[in-house]
Structure 1
Amino acid sequence: MPAIRRLTGEEARAAIPALSAILIDCIDGGASVGFLSPFGDEDAATYWTGVADAVTSGHTVLLVAEADGEILGTVQLGIGLPPNQPHRADLKKLLVHRRDRGRGLARLLMTAAESQSLALGRHLLVLDTATGSPAEAIYARLGWSRAGVIPDYALFPDGSFCGSTFFYKSLTPSDT
């Protein structure tokens, strides 16, 4: 059974090769997660080094799903927000390697992210995802509310436009 674990900055640095492999796999699969093709190991390592720095500084919570010592997926909570937003967090980069999809890892990661958010006093989560993507359906199934769509908001890895659907979830005591 996969387990979810919160990484420290040092653990995040040590996990850069595994996290990079997942990110590259998702981009190769066409996921619109902020990067364009070609995207390789050096690009991914640069990105994850920045995430590790944000974890160390307390601006990001990094969670991983792992089984048998292997990282299978990850998600982040952006908590380094302006002073007028101490009650919320940005859910970022829900990534599961394509070979490990269909095992409930996204649900496990999202549930853990919600628990971490509440533990940090953050009761409102927001995210955006590519309109029409499989992730959009996952968020709806997990009780997230659709706020709206912005057409041509981002690009797919191949450079073509994609809309982004914005979601939010209120983690009130009745939701937990």
Structure 2
Amino acid sequence: MNPKLEIRPLAAAPETRTQLAGMLVETVAQGGSVGFMHPLTLEAAAAFWDGALAAASRGERMILGGWNGPQLIGTVTLILNTPPNQPHRAEIAKMMTRPQWRGQGVASALLREAEALAVQNGRTMLVLDTASDEGAAGLYESAGYTFAGELPDYALKPHGGLTGTRLYWKRLEESER
């Protein structure tokens, strides 16, 4: 399967919310460490996205969606709401690709687009974290992110047990601005 990927910012719309909630439930059920425990209900996932999409409408974050036709197959969030002494920084969060689309460049394309939007918003430093166990460290390292360290026993895995988190950063270069 090669997606005909279209990436665009997401806004609150019933179908978008439904697809985001389904992707979050699926990701958590598959063991994705994105801040939730399994089993995650569709209602709880939809409530999370309601809050995130509201924050996006206030300009606090940008939520990007990767679409293959009418199907949302991936998402990433660029958090722009930083403290006053960090106006140059943004955070990458909630990177998810539907399992059947993994390994086909969806996450890489979403990450590149988030980086471009960070630059457009005057950000020169990106930070992120990913689970030590089964996280996306390879993706971030191949995209030029620098490993800053690991915090052990940082969070519970969706199905139980502790995992660490790996911290990464990337300075956005002139060629990306």
TM-score by length of 2: 0.94
Aligned to 1:163: 164
Aligned to 2:61: 60
What is the Cα deviation at residue 20 of structure 1? 0.9
Aligned to 1:144: 145
Residue 6 (str. 1) matches residue 12 (str. 2): no
What is the Cα deviation at residue 170 of structure 1? 0.5
Aligned to 1:21: 22
Distance in 2 (alpha carbons) for counterparts of 1:40 and 1:14 = 17
Aligned to 1:173: 174
What is the Cα deviation at residue 132 of structure 1? 3.6
- Structure 2, unaligned runs of 5 or more: none
What is the Cα deviation at residue 159 of structure 1? 2.2
Q: Which runs of 4+ in 1 moved over 2 A?
A: none
Aligned to 1:106: 107
- After superposition, the C-alpha distances for 1:33-90 in whole angstroms (9 at most, x for unaligned) are 1011121101101110010111111111010000112110000011111111100101
Q: Assess, with a 3 A threshold, how the Cα gap between structure 1 residues 24 and 135 changes in structure 2: closer, same or farther.
A: same
Matched residue of 1:77: which SS?
strand
Distance in 1 (alpha carbons) for counterparts of 2:42 and 2:24 = 9
Matched residue of 2:112: which SS?
helix
Distance in 2 (alpha carbons) for counterparts of 1:158 and 1:55 = 29
Matched residue of 2:136: which SS?
helix
Structure 1 residues 84-99: aligned runs within 5 Å: 84-99=85-100
TM-score by length of 1: 0.94
- After superposition, the C-alpha distances for 1:118-169 in whole angstroms (9 at most, x for unaligned) are 0000110000000142511111111110000000011101221000000001
Distance in 1 (alpha carbons) for counterparts of 2:135 and 2:6 = 23
The alignment's C-alpha RMSD in Å is 1.3
Matched residue of 1:15: which SS?
helix
Structure 1 residues 116-135: aligned runs within 5 Å: 116-135=117-136
Distance in 1 (alpha carbons) for counterparts of 2:148 and 2:133 = 15
What is the Cα deviation at residue 174 of structure 1? 4.4
Matched residue of 1:16: which SS?
helix
- Structure 1, unaligned runs of 5 or more: none
Size of the aligned set, in residue pairs, is: 174
